[in-house]
Chains A and B, each alone.
Chain A
Amino acid sequence: MATLSLSTALSPTLALACAPLLTGIIAKTKAFFAGRKGPPLLQAYSDILKLLRKGAVYSTTTSWVFRAGPVVSLGALLACCLLMPFGALGAVLSFSGDILLFVYLLAVVRFFTVIAALDTGSPFEGMGASREVFFSALVEPVFLVCLLALSGPAQSFCFQDAIGKGAQISLVPALLAGFALVVVMLAENARLPVDDPATHLELTMIHEVMVLDHGGPDFAFITYGASLKLWLFGLIAVRAFLPLHAASVWIDVLCTSAGMVVIGIVIGTIESVTARLRLLRVPQLLAGAAALALLALLAQQGALP
Chain B
Amino acid sequence: MSARPIYIRNCVPVPLADIPACDTGSFCALMQEELDSRARVAAYFGCPSGSRVRLIAAIAHSRDGTIALFSCKAGAEMPSLASSYPQLQLFEREIAEQYGISFAGHPWFKPVRFCAPFGSGRDLFDRRIGDADFFAVDGEEVHEVAVGPVHAGVIEPGHFRFQCHGENVFHLEISLGYQHRGVERLVAGAPRHAVRAIIETAAGDTTAAHTTAYCQVMESLASCEGPPRAHALRALAIELERCANHIGDIGALAGDVGFLPTASYCGRIRGDVLNATALLCGSRFGRGILCEGGTAFDCDSGRLADLSRTVSTVKADFANAMDLLLNKSSVLARFENTGILTEADCRTLGVVGLAARASGIIADVRQDFAHGMYRFSHIPVVTHEQGDVFARAFVRFGEAMHSLDFVKELCAGLPEGGTRAACGPLAPNSLAVSLVEGWRGEVFHAAVTGDDGRLTRYKIVDPSFHNWNGLAFALRNQQISDFPLCNKSFNLSYCGYDL
Report A's interface with B, CB cutoff 8 A.
30, 33-36, 123-124, 127, 192-193, 196, 198-204, 212, 271-281
Contact = CB atoms under 8 A, between A and B. Distances in A.
A274 B259 contact: yes
B424 interface: no
A30 to B, nearest CB: 6
A123 B144 contact: yes
Contacts of B338: 278
Given A123-B145, A127-B145, A275 B257 contact: yes
B484 A203 contact: yes
A127 B480 CA distance: 10
Interface of B: 143-147, 152-153, 167, 254, 256-261, 263-265, 268, 328, 330-331, 333-334, 338, 479-485
Contact of B481 (A35, A204, A272): A204
Contacts of A198: 258
Contact of B258 (A124, A271, A281): A271
A-B interface, 3 closest residue pairs, ranked by CB to CB distance from nearest = A34-B264, A276-B258, A201-B484
B481 A34 contact: no
B258 A193 contact: yes
Contacts of A203: 145, 147, 480-481, 483-484
Contacts of B259: 274-275
| Residue of A36, A200, A275 with most chain B CB atoms under a 10 A cut-off | A275
Nearest to B152: A200
B334 A278 contact: yes
B193 to A, nearest CB: 40
Interface residue SS majority, chain B = helix
Given A203-B483, A276-B334, A279-B481, A30 B258 contact: no
A280 B482 CA distance: 11
A278 B333 contact: yes
B330 A277 contact: yes
A200 B144 CA distance: 21
Nearest to A123: B145
A239 to B, nearest CB: 28
B144 to A, nearest CB: 7
28 contacts: A30-B260, A33-B260, A33-B261, A34-B260, A34-B261, A35-B268, A123-B143, A123-B146, A127-B167, A192-B258, A193-B258, A198-B258, A199-B256, A200-B152, A203-B481, A203-B484, A204-B256, A204-B485, A274-B328, A275-B328, A275-B331, A276-B334, A277-B333, A278-B333, A278-B479, A278-B481, A280-B479, A281-B333
A175 to B, nearest CB: 24
Nearest to B168: A280
Contacts of B483: 203-204
A275 B333 CA distance: 9
Nearest to B265: A35
A278 B261 contact: no
B264 A35 contact: yes
Contacts of A277: 330, 333-334
A96 B493 CA distance: 61
Given A34-B264, A123-B144, A123-B145, A199 B481 contact: no
B145 A124 contact: yes
B256 A202 contact: no
Nearest to A197: B258
A277 to B, nearest CB: 7
A275 B330 contact: yes
A34 B256 contact: no
A277 B261 CA distance: 17
B42 to A, nearest CB: 33
A199 B261 contact: no
Contacts of A199: 256, 258
Given A212-B152, A271-B260, A275-B331, 4 more contacts: A34-B263, A36-B264, A204-B484, A276-B257
B314 to A, nearest CB: 16
A278 B333 CA distance: 8
A275 B152 contact: no
B182 to A, nearest CB: 31
B258 A196 contact: yes
A212 B484 CA distance: 18
A272 B333 contact: no
Nearest to A268: B260
B267 to A, nearest CB: 9
Contacts of A275: 254, 257-259, 328, 330-331, 333-334
Contacts of A280: 167, 479
Contacts of B333: 275, 277-278, 281
A288 to B, nearest CB: 14
A258 to B, nearest CB: 25
Contacts of A212: 152
B147 A202 contact: yes
Contacts of B330: 193, 274-277
Nearest to A30: B260
A152 to B, nearest CB: 34
Nearest to B160: A203
A150 B160 CA distance: 49
A279 B167 contact: yes
Contacts of B484: 201, 203-204
Nearest to A191: B258
A56 B77 CA distance: 55
A33 B261 CA distance: 6
B257 to A, nearest CB: 4
B258 A201 contact: no
Nearest to A205: B481
A202 B143 CA distance: 17
A59 to B, nearest CB: 14
A287 B138 CA distance: 35
B66 to A, nearest CB: 43
Nearest to B256: A201
A36 B146 CA distance: 36
Contacts of B258: 192-193, 196, 198-199, 271, 274-276
B45 to A, nearest CB: 35
Contact of A201 (B146, B153, B263, B328): B153
A39 to B, nearest CB: 14
A202 B160 CA distance: 13
A111 B459 CA distance: 56
A279 B334 contact: no
B165 to A, nearest CB: 12
A278 B258 CA distance: 11
A69 B334 CA distance: 34
B186 to A, nearest CB: 33
Nearest to B167: A279
Nearest to B479: A279
